[in-house]
Structure 1
């Protein structure tokens, strides 16, 4: 019986989600606090898109939410990463979380009293400032809380719970929008945000470990120089930009729900949750991810798979099939994200992690905004289906050409994890 139990445990460890990092209290609070608040964040994202479409009846304006959020993300993501390498990351996380919370309160006020498109856009921009600094700071904290050998597992848990929140948030969004409107969605977000504030407040002091650089232009340039000098790290950013800028159809969800599914709020909620739903499934069955050795080639092909499943979803006529195809793409996206994140966290020394995570967040959050702008503008010019399907096909072709053309990336295999100086 003992041998049988060991065999079952080994099977689970090889094929299912590794939960060992949850035994670390600081990481556990940070993870679950972020997950709860991210449900509210996703709920707000759905409500903002729906409110803009309701006010303007235009996918172009929904797509313009992309550049409105993108500029603060780029500027403050890069600068915020440099700050995270020079100050106590706990305090920085608290301050930036409060900025995001204030933006949510502004959206709440606008929804109940004004319904002004310009105030809504301004609140989205301010929210992006807070998120652009807090997100890379939070991820840069992880290697300080868990041992080096558990960093990939911690990343997978982080992405899986984040993806679960991205499922629950949009699904809740469809329900809330149908019954309480955008204002109720913003109110729920404001209440749930308390979870991330509590988790940040309970963290230990996280002063810089190594030599710190003043958070100015020089620090940002040093981080960019590090990336440009490492083709594997650089290509991990490039392939993600291709995936999001070319293939993400998020800005087209309101129009698809309105034209193909009779304007159903629940259909919009399912569309918004579909990619994250696949990522949750991918996280549960992620035990094999860390055993893949040719990660450069693997990254290239899982992103190509993402593009092809998105293209197929644009042709599907049944809601369940659209959701299933987008979920398959989400599975591929989670695997890609874990590999890319682990590369950054294990290559860089602690004094560089904030800056690299700042660039990572600019790419991860900025790429979808470019995708929103691309999808909205293309749909306005050539129609919904060509914009959706063409983007997915272009992504698959471009990532294979680019990803396989760089020898260092094509041959990349993960090196042993460096000591991370975990703090509990």
Structure 2
């Protein structure tokens, strides 16, 4: 295999100027988002010196994503997705402007700051399912995975760069400038999406309110491939999420050395970035189901071995492998979900996928902490990794469609008919556009604020009646 085919597939960048503009806007906006995340935590800690209020920052960001997300997905499936995304972008920018104003003026109560963060997260919960339509709606089917990989690698890069830039800006110019830079970054995101065509739902529109949400949940429970993909992700996160155990393992084996703890976190990120940078074979291979299952199993095995390794370098190697497997699993899962979901349901399914991505790691961290409290950090890691492997094996056994090529088929919305279209009938798509990027599950915000820098072959899958239920009334 040539090096060019092994590297990240950049065909969407070459074939579509629209995609390039959208990707640039999304990348800059993501950088601003990570800067704001760090700045909010720094400001809240600087004012309160309270672990409670620092923890409330994460709550203010997560609760709207879960509470608003599912209903936002139902609304997105009734409206022009481009218009919804632009409106959400303007709302997020306005919140950043208000955060900048309070940052420059000072003396704003912390609950007000958290309220602004929650409102901004609510706009983000509306924009995410709208953006989730862009790649599968606008890219040719053979470039969908490549477009998702480009979104993922830029998101990972900004996840690494954003906190560092925020630390420098905080040290030199203060919190107001950080918030202002984030507000300006939304301008590029707006410019990138403004050139998109109208993107109304194809087929029946979502029923309003709770009925539309329930239609989306019926699809998730009735569609074997999509259900299997999300169950695999939950197995990997709830049963084996390792980050909350790092401090304990570091204390048990390596004397609590802070440098070792930092290397643990960095190793996961390095593995994820490297895997995405060399994701060409993965995105060109039209078998995301087997790839996701193998990557998720590798994630569990690598973390179990990490729990057994006595040597720090061997531990870091296992974490690099786990981070790489995580990135590949997330990319493959997203490809499955976005290519197997009819357009009329894609907003709701994307919202549900986002909720799973938010809740799974937190539940996994809780599970790891409880088990480690009863036993040890190593036992929690090894047990969680092996349970993850068993759960992934069970999903693979119960969902044979995930083991074949059926997981890569493209679907279109329908009026009362089956939502699956054989791959050979899928029409070619036109110009490209970015989607809401689904970052690896390791991209969780830090639990404590950083210090600022000092100045200086298609198998037919049976789908039940619930899966084929029309989205409309």
Alignment TM class, shorter chain as reference: 0.7 to 0.9
- SS at the partner of 2:200? coil
Residue pairs, 1:157-236, within 5 angstroms: 157-236=150-229
Quote the residue 2:98 is aligned against. 106
**2:464 matched to which residue of 1?**
none
Kept in 1: contact 2:302–2:322 (CA 8 A) = yes
Q: Which moved more, 1:99-108 or 1:198-207?
A: 99-108
Q: Report what 1:7 is aligned to.
A: none
Q: How does 1:237-386 map to 2 (within 5 A)?
A: 237-245=230-238, 247=241, 249=243, 261=258, 275-290=268-283, 291=285, 294-295=290-291, 297-304=293-300, 307-308=303-304, 328-368=321-361, 370=363
2:296/2:392 contact within 8 Å kept: yes
User: Is the Cα contact below 8 Å between 2:241 and 2:361 reproduced in 1?
Assistant: no
Give the whole-Å Cα distance in 2 for the aligned partners of 1:310 and 1:232: 31
Distance 1:338 1:159 in 2: 8
Distance in 1 (alpha carbons) for counterparts of 2:185 and 2:360: 26
Shift of 1:130: 1.2
Q: Deviations over 1:75-113 (max 9, x none)?
A: 221112222221111100011112222222333234331
- Residues 1:57 and 1:273: Cα distance change in structure 2 (over 3 Å): farther
The alpha carbon displacement at 1:341 in A equals 0.6
| More helix as a share of residues | 1
Structure 1 position 412, deviation (Å): 2.3
1:414 alignment partner in structure 2? 405
1:89 to 78, 81, 94: 81
CA distance in 2, matches of 1:117, 1:327: 38
8 A contact 1:250–1:272 mirrored in 2: no
| Aligned-residue offset at 1:303 | 3.2
Give aligned pairs, total: 399
The one-character-per-residue Cα deviations of 1:177-219 (angstroms, maximum 9, x if unpaired) are 3433433322221222211111121211112222212342222
Cα distance in 2 for partners of 1:214, 1:155 equals: 29
Question: For the Cα contact (< 8 Å) 2:65–2:122, is it kept in 1?
Answer: yes
Q: Is the Cα contact below 8 Å between 2:299 and 2:321 reproduced in 1?
A: no
Deviation at 1:67, TM superposition (A): 3.1
Query: Match of 1:401?
Result: 390
**Which residue pairs with 1:125 in the alignment?**
118
2:457 corresponds to: none
The alignment's TM-score, normalised by the length of structure 2, stands at 0.73
| Alpha-carbon separation, structure 2, partners of 1:198 and 1:412 | 41
Q: Report the 3-state secondary structure (helix = DSSP H, G, I; strand = E; otherwise coil) of the residue aligned with 2:123.
A: helix
Q: Whose Rg is larger? A: 2
Q: Judging changes above 3 Å, is the alpha-carbon distance between structure 1 residues 19 and 171 closer, same or farther for their aligned structure 2 residues?
A: same
- Match status 1:70 vs 2:62: yes
Shift of residue 18, structure 1, vs aligned partner: 0.9
CA drift of 1:40 comes to 0.7
Alpha-carbon separation, structure 2, partners of 1:26 and 1:414: 30
Structure 1 residues 329-352: Cα deviation after superposition (integer angstroms, max 9, x where no partner): 432221111110111111112112
What do you get for the CA RMSD once the two structures are aligned?
A: 3.6
Do 1:80 and 1:358's aligned partners in 2 also have CA atoms closer than 8 Å? yes
Give, in whole Å, the separation in 2 of the partners of 1:134 and 1:209.
Answer: 19
Unmatched 5+ residue regions in structure 1?
Answer: 1-9
Runs of 5+ unmatched residues, structure 2: 251-255, 411-425, 432-473
Q: 1:50 aligns with which of 30, 42, 51?
A: 42
Distance 1:215-1:234 versus aligned 2 partners, 3 A rule:
same
Q: What is the TM-score normalised by the length of structure 1?
A: 0.80
